[in-house]
Amino acid sequence: MTALLRVENLCVTLNRQHGKGMIEAVSDVSFSINPAETFALVGQSGSGKTTLARAIIGLCPVTSGSIYYCEQRIGIGRIFRKIQMVFQNPYRSLNPYWSLEEILTEPLEILGLPKPERLLRIHGLLDAVHLSSRALDKRPQRFSGGERQRIAIARALAMEPELLICDEALSALDVTVQAQIIALFLELQKRLQLAYLFIAHDLAVVERLSHQVAVMKSGQIVEQGPSACVYAQAQHPYTRALLNASYRL
Ligand SMILES: Nc1ncnc2c1ncn2[C@@H]1O[C@H](COP(=O)(O)OP(=O)(O)O)[C@@H](O)[C@H]1O
Ligand SMILES: [Mg+2]
């Protein structure tokens, strides 16, 4: 099978904040994501997950290595429509002054969808994330955390992506809402044949979703493989420590 996304020997070096020196936030990372599958990237805070995601979508310069989308090398600094991102904080990622309709209209304008077709498409997007279209004139603060994350997902889907990068997209939500959003991600994957790069710090959270799992520590992937293998027989001590922390064994 041709990989949807392939990352090869990727390194990202950043200037340290407030000081001297550089930090290799992503260090010789290689992996690939199949179409319509979920690749979970797990690791503690500061392990380089967000930097890796930003490098993939062209928001952060790559020091060395390559990124391929359907075996085509994707350029650095170029935002690629087929890859969209959903962020951790649904409170900060939506413009507080815009109505739901305005939030969803923006990507459709970027896509060049003719005006008369936009409202129909917006209804379809709200339907896909199970939000009522009666709320179109409401601003983000009128929605709950879970509803805001649904709006962020609808906005990402508006661009018709094939790969959705979810950076800690469940972390700000409480457990019941997390379960509902996981169910939504699974449903959307089936319906739209979406692939996910699903970033989390907790292995337990991504178990239901992931086909492949990679564990990241200090900028490097220390273990990766099919989800069933990694969860059943983790090889690296760091993975086992994460599993113990997640399931409190
Ligand atoms: N914009 C930045 N400038 C400098 N250093 C950064 C920047 N963003 C992150 N870092 C550093 O890079 C490392 C990886 O951070 P990050 O990718 O945010 O990890 P994670 O998402 O796994 O928490 C950390 O040591 C962090 O302090
Ligand atoms: Mg992060």
Ligand 1, pocket-test mutation among 11, 23, 49, most atoms within 8 A of CB = 23
- What residue owns the CA closest to ligand 1's atom 5? 16
The predicted structure's pLDDT at residue 76: 61
DSSP string, 191-235: HHT-EEEEEES-HHHHTTT-SEEEEEETTEEEEEEEHHHHHHS--
Confidence of residue 18 (pLDDT cuts 50, 70, 90): confident
Which listed ligand is nearest to 51 at the C-alpha? 1
- Segment 175-202, tens digit of pLDDT: 999 999 999 999 999 999 999 999 998 8
Percentage of the chain modeled with pLDDT above 70:
97
Looking at the chain, how many residues does it have? 249
- Segment 76-127, tens digit of pLDDT: 656 678 999 998 887 778 999 999 999 999 999 999 999 999 999 999 999 9
- Segment 56-65, tens digit of pLDDT: 998 889 999 9
Q: Do 201 and 43 contact (CB within 8 A), yes or no?
A: yes
Which 3 state secondary structure label does DSSP give 1?
Answer: coil
Question: Does the pLDDT of residue 22 top 60, yes or no?
Answer: yes
Q: 194 phi and psi, to 5 degrees? A: -80, 145
The predicted structure's pLDDT at residue 66: 95
Distance (angstroms) between ligand 1 centre and the Cα of 14 equals 8
Question: Does the pLDDT of residue 133 top 70, yes or no?
Answer: yes
Cβ < 6 Å from ligand 1: which residues?
Answer: 14-17, 23, 25, 43, 45-51
- What residue owns the CA closest to ligand 1's atom 20? 46
The predicted structure's pLDDT at residue 4: 96
DSSP string, 64-130: EEEEEETTEEPPTT---TTEEEE-S-TTTSS-TTS-HHHHHHHHHHHHT--HHHHHHHHHHHHHHTT
Domains of the chain: 1-82+164-169+197-249 (3.40.50.300)
Distance (angstroms) between ligand 2 centre and the Cα of 11 equals 17
The predicted structure's pLDDT at residue 245: 84
Which listed ligand is nearest to 23 at the C-alpha? 1
Distance (angstroms) between ligand 2 centre and the Cα of 96 equals 23
- Angle between helix 115-128 and 175-192 (nearest 10): 120
Nearest CA to 54 among 33, 72, 79? 79
- What residue owns the CA closest to ligand 1's atom 9? 51
Q: Which atom of ligand 1 is nearest to the CA of 60?
A: 1
Q: Which atom of ligand 1 is nearest to the CA of 216?
A: 22
Q: What is the pTM of this model?
A: 0.94
- Segment 203-232, tens digit of pLDDT: 888 888 999 999 999 999 999 999 999 999
Distance (angstroms) between ligand 1 centre and the Cα of 8 equals 20
- Segment 147-165, tens digit of pLDDT: 999 999 999 999 999 999 9
Q: Which residue has the tokens 């997640």?
A: 246
The predicted structure's pLDDT at residue 59: 87
Question: Does the pLDDT of residue 30 top 70, yes or no?
Answer: yes
Distance (angstroms) between ligand 1 centre and the Cα of 185 equals 26
Between 78 and 138, residue with greater pLDDT: 138
